[in-house]
Amino acid sequence: MELLNEILQTVLSGISIGCVYGLVALGFVLIFKATEVINFAQGELLMLGAFISYSLIGLLHFPYWAALAVTVIVMGLLGTLLERTVLRSLVGEPVYAIVIVTIGLSYFLRSMVSMIPGWGTDTYGFQTPFAEKFIRTGKLVISWEYLAIILITTALIFLLFSFFRYTRVGTAMRATSQNQLAAVYMGISVTRVFSLTWTIAAALGGIGGILLSPITFVHMNMGFIGLKAFPAAVLGGFGSLPGAIVGGLIIGITESLAGFYLPEGWKDIAAWIILIGVLIIRPQGLFGIQEKKKV
Amino acid sequence: MPLLKVRNIETYYGPIMAIKGVSFDVEQGAIVTILGANGAGKTTILKTISGVMDPEKGSIEFMGQPIEGLPPDRIVRLGISQVPEGREVFHDLTVKENLMMGAYPRKDRDGIKKDLQMVYGYFPILGERTAQLAGDMSGGQQQMVVIARALMARPKLMLLDEPSLGLSPLLVKEIYAIIKRINTEQKTTILLVEQNAPMALSTASHGFVLELGRIVMDDSCDALLANEDVKEFYLGIKEEGVRGERRWKRKKKWR
């Protein structure tokens, strides 16, 4: 019983961190599906979201939910701005060039954060309404901090799913990722779709940031979470939105278990070991499909 | 006033001049066809009209308004829809979602609903398979999806790029019968690009022959059907020589 509780507890914290990996992985996949570019600055967008929410809650004393909303909006706008200023001018350039630019962007964002007064290279924290609150069932103790991450992520996934499934613009975004030329012939503005994709991906990063902050605290190198979210996206099949979330969860749970039961150091490589294992057995990833060719 | 007025357009693929100064008119309500061999520049003309490619020189007027150089999504909103060759469906979208994407620029919900029924009237099979993924359909059905999808935009001018490509003769006949019906019933003007000359010439009223980026013939389809060169080079009707052999060295008269 004792052991079962312990495992449950570990898995639960793994799920919640996995949700954050999943959100960052979603950002990777969304941008990749629409523009065929891998945005290596996705982790830094999360870091920026965390710093913005820290400023709002810690310095300006916003209530948590208001801060969440403002962070999402600010990050969304920032995503749009990044697309307009940096990425739009690169449309049509070779993909590797654009990928390098996103790597540059990640360095740029990190250094920028270190230079902004009040942010810098220190580690910060802020109060959330979930801190120090627990649900007890028998011997199982569930922290609201973790539960909140899971619930908010679930709501977010539901929202995204409905958007892509049932709205006109969401369907147009799916259409564009499947056949860009045909989308152009439909009167869909591909530039607007790209811009919207970056907006959504950056907003997701922002939410990831505010969710992750209570667990890892706010610091300049939070963006390295991308190194965990990237295998999550690949695991899920890079190109599948549900795959990104499932990949995130798998990596979160494994990592959590490895951190608890295996010697120091295994935690950080667990994600990559699983990734290599899965790719050997199923090279297209869990939810990946082989590119359908027209007959 | 013609619906579409193309004047002296020149379009390049990099350094290669694909369209070398083409001019023609498309009259309101007509079916006009452009014939030509592979690489003659037929598709390039359509792409230039729909704005996917920009002409280096020349002008394109649609309903009296210059449209050359406009982004493609603006041109669609003006009422020009292109049906690209090779059945470019959205393979992971259902048939209905595909059709709704055709109506993407439109805001009139009731009109869209009505047109959906109209389209199902032309292509009953699509009405039966609304929830099927377009990628899982047969080639002929996919061709129906792309034509129906373009129709959902309620275009004034429909640019059709080789609707017969890769379809069985029976299916080609069926598709052309529907194209003709769309033209007469919906008053949609149609600019048709085709390699299947017999089919195109029997459907359209006016035709152009395009060779290496230039229009070499411009006549009514009846006249084109009777023309010796068109007969030999596009319809494949061989002429017997005096000695009962084919004249292999016959030259085209427009050269």
- B238 CA: distance to closest CA in chain A (Å): 33
A175: CB partners within 8 A, 6+ apart: A182, A183, A186, A188, B90, B93, B97, B101
Q: Can you tell me the mean pLDDT for B103-121?
A: 93
HEC string of chain A equals CHHHHHHHHHHHHHHHHHHHHHHHHHHHHHHHHHHCCCCCCHHHHHHHHHHHHHHHHHHCCCCHHHHHHHHHHHHHHHHHHHHHHHHHHHCCCCHHHHHHHHHHHHHHHHHHHHHCCCCCCCCECCCCCCCCCEEEECCEEEEHHHHHHHHHHHHHHHHHHHHHHHCHHHHHHHHHHHCHHHHHHCCCCHHHHHHHHHHHHHHHHHHHHHHHHHHHCECHHHHHHHHHHHHHHHHHCCCCHHHHHHHHHHHHHHHHHHHHHCCCCHHHHHHHHHHHHHHHHCCCCCCCCCCCCCC
Interface test with A, best of B104, B133, B154, B165 (most A CBs within 10 A): B104
**A268: in domain:** no
- Least CA distance to A289: which residue of chain B? B92
- Select, from the ranges A153-157, B36-40, B66-70, the one with the highest average predicted confidence (pLDDT): A153-157
The pLDDT score that the predictor gives to residue A293 is 44
Interface test with B, best of A185, A189, A194 (most B CBs within 10 A): A185
**A9: in domain:** no
Q: Which among B90, B104, B135 has CB closest to A187?
A: B104
Query: In the predicted model, is pLDDT for residue A271 greater than 80?
Result: yes
The pLDDT score that the predictor gives to residue A294 is 40
Interface test with A, best of B83, B88, B151 (most A CBs within 10 A): B88
- Least CA distance to B91: which residue of chain A? A178
**A54: in domain:** yes
**A178: in domain:** yes
Domains of chain B: 1-79+156-255 (3.40.50.300), 90-154 (no CATH)
The pLDDT score that the predictor gives to residue A32 is 92
The pLDDT confidence band at residue A85, using thresholds 50, 70 and 90, is very high
Each residue's pLDDT tens digit, B152-206: 999 999 999 999 888 888 999 999 999 999 999 999 999 999 888 889 998 999 9
Is B75:B98 a contact under the CB 8 Å cutoff? no
The pLDDT score that the predictor gives to residue A109 is 93
- Least CA distance to B76: which residue of chain A? A187
The pLDDT score that the predictor gives to residue A295 is 37
The pLDDT score that the predictor gives to residue A240 is 87
- A104 CA: distance to closest CA in chain B (Å): 31
Q: What share of residues in chain B are helix, strand, coil (percent, to 5)?
A: 40, 25, 35
**A85: in domain:** yes
Q: Can you tell me the mean pLDDT for A99-109?
A: 93
Asked if A181 and B86 come within 8 Å (Cβ–Cβ), the reply is no
- The DSSP code sequence of B161-210 is E-TTTT--HHHHHHHHHHHHHHHHHH--EEEEEES-HHHHHHH-SEEEEE
Q: What is the mean pLDDT of chain A?
A: 90
The pLDDT confidence band at residue A17, using thresholds 50, 70 and 90, is very high
Q: Which residues on B lie below 8 Å from A182 (Cβ)?
A: 84, 88-90, 146
ipTM over 0.90: no
Each residue's pLDDT tens digit, B45-58: 999 999 999 999 99
**A234: in domain:** no
Domain span at A164: 20-222
Percent of chain A with pLDDT over 90: 58
The pLDDT score that the predictor gives to residue B153 is 93
Asked if A185 and B82 come within 8 Å (Cβ–Cβ), the reply is yes
**A37: in domain:** yes
Q: How many structural domains comprise chain A?
A: 1
The pLDDT confidence band at residue B251, using thresholds 50, 70 and 90, is low
Each residue's pLDDT tens digit, B208-244: 999 888 888 888 888 888 887 887 777 777 666 555 5
Each residue's pLDDT tens digit, B2-18: 899 999 999 998 888 88
- A70 CA: distance to closest CA in chain B (Å): 31
Q: Which residues on B lie below 8 Å from A178 (Cβ)?
A: 90-93
**A252: in domain:** no
Q: Can you tell me the mean pLDDT for B87-114?
A: 93
